[in-house]
Amino acid sequence: MIVLVVVQTIAIAILTVIVFGLLRTHADILRALDRAGVPLDDSAPASPIGPVPVAAPTTRSEAIDIVGTVPGGGPVKVAIAGPHHTLLAFLSSGCRTCQAFWSEFASPTVDLPGDETRLVIVAQDPAHDSESRLAELAPTGVRTVCSSDAWNAYGVPGSPYFALVDGRTGRVVGSGTATGWEQVHGLLSQALGDEALGGTVDEALAASGIGPGHPSLYPEPLGTDEGDR
């Protein structure tokens, strides 16, 4: 009888360890899926995370400096202002699409759109990403910063995501994402071209004296004339 109780106790202990192990593995998988931007709730609306076309903003958005920590290092602040563009690449260590960008940015000859463009990779804080993995992935010579505040400030919907900032105006020229660097580069170049041609739609309208509330923005509906009846 005593032998049976002992065997049963040992069996329960082993099963308990196995169950806790499975729960932990499950939690790790959920965290990894969350980092990768994979929605877990089937009833939830489609996640905004995923490729978003790069485009010039319809209204110019202010850029802010990046304040955070270097992966495996100390506090850091990266200033956006200056006679150059800054390409902010919001990447994660665990997202599959990001792997191509980590590899691309490791190349010393990577071609960046804009004037003397500086590449800054922005990851989430160590509480939301693997700091040791980020330290491994950070390309030599490329400024890499952990800053969840920057993700919030730039409205990053998920990784990868890019924002091209003009340091002379302190504003975002274009932002969005795609699955490959060639595509991102092309679309950001288009945003730069649009910027050079005439700025934003709001600015073009303002230059013509058309602002919020202008009558020309609210034309009379068709079919109200007597002749149309």
Partner 1 sequence: MSSHRLAANGVEVAVRDGWEVEFSELRANPGADPRSLVHLANFALPAERGDYGSGAVESMDSGGILIVLMEFDPPSAGGAMFSGDAVPHGLVAADFSPAALQRRLPGQAGSQRFFRVGERAFGLYVVLGAHRQAALLAREVNLTLAGITID
81 lies in the site for partner 1, by CB under 8 A? yes
- Give the chain's end-to-end CA distance (angstroms, integer): 100
149 binds partner 1 per the rule CB under 8 A? no
Mask for 185-224, x = binds partner 1 (CB under 8 A): ----------------------------------------
Tell me: does residue 70 bind partner 1 (CB under 8 A): yes
**Binding status of residue 67 toward partner 1 by CB under 8 A:** yes
By CB under 8 A, residue 133 contacts partner 1: no
Rule CB under 8 A: choose which of 38, 78, 135, 206 binds partner 1. Answer: 78
Q: Which is nearer to partner 1, 52 or 142 (CB)?
A: 142
CB 83 within 8 A of CB 167: yes
- Diameter of the chain by CA atoms? 103
**Would you state the structure tokens that stand for residue 180, as one six-digit string?**
């490959």
Q: Residue 132 interacts with partner 1 (CB under 8 A)?
A: no
If the CB atoms of residues 59 and 140 are measured against partner 1, the closer one turns out to be: 140
DSSP 121: E
Helix (H) or strand (E) holding 15: helix 2-35
CB of 88 to partner 1, least distance (A): 13
Instruction: Tell me the C-alpha to C-alpha distance, in Å, between residue 205 and each of 198, 209, 213.
Output: 10, 7, 12
Interface stretch with partner 1, choices 74-82, 92-100, 184-192, 211-219 (CB under 8 A): 74-82
- Packing angle between helix 181-198 and helix 96-105, nearest 10 degrees? 70
Q: Rule CB under 8 A: is residue 97 a binding residue for partner 1? A: no
Q: Which is nearer to partner 1, 82 or 199 (CB)?
A: 82
- List 50, 82, 157, 199, residue binding partner 1 (CB under 8 A): 82
Binding region for partner 1 (CB under 8 A) out of 44-52, 68-76, 105-113, 219-227: 68-76
CA dihedral of 90, 182, 94, 143, whole degrees rounded to 10: -40
What backbone torsions phi and psi does residue 187 show, to the nearest 5 degrees? -70, -35
The number of beta carbons lying within 10 Å of the beta carbon of residue 157 is 16
**Minimal distance, residue 223 CB to partner 1, in Å:** 55
Contacts 24+ apart (CB under 8 A), 75-83: 76/145, 78/120, 78/143, 78/145, 80/165, 80/167, 80/170, 81/167, 81/170, 82/167, 82/168, 83/115, 83/116, 83/167, 83/168
Q: How far is the CB of 7 from partner 1 (least distance, A)?
A: 48
Residue ranges that bind partner 1, judged by CB under 8 A? 65, 67, 70, 73-79, 81-82, 84, 118, 140-144
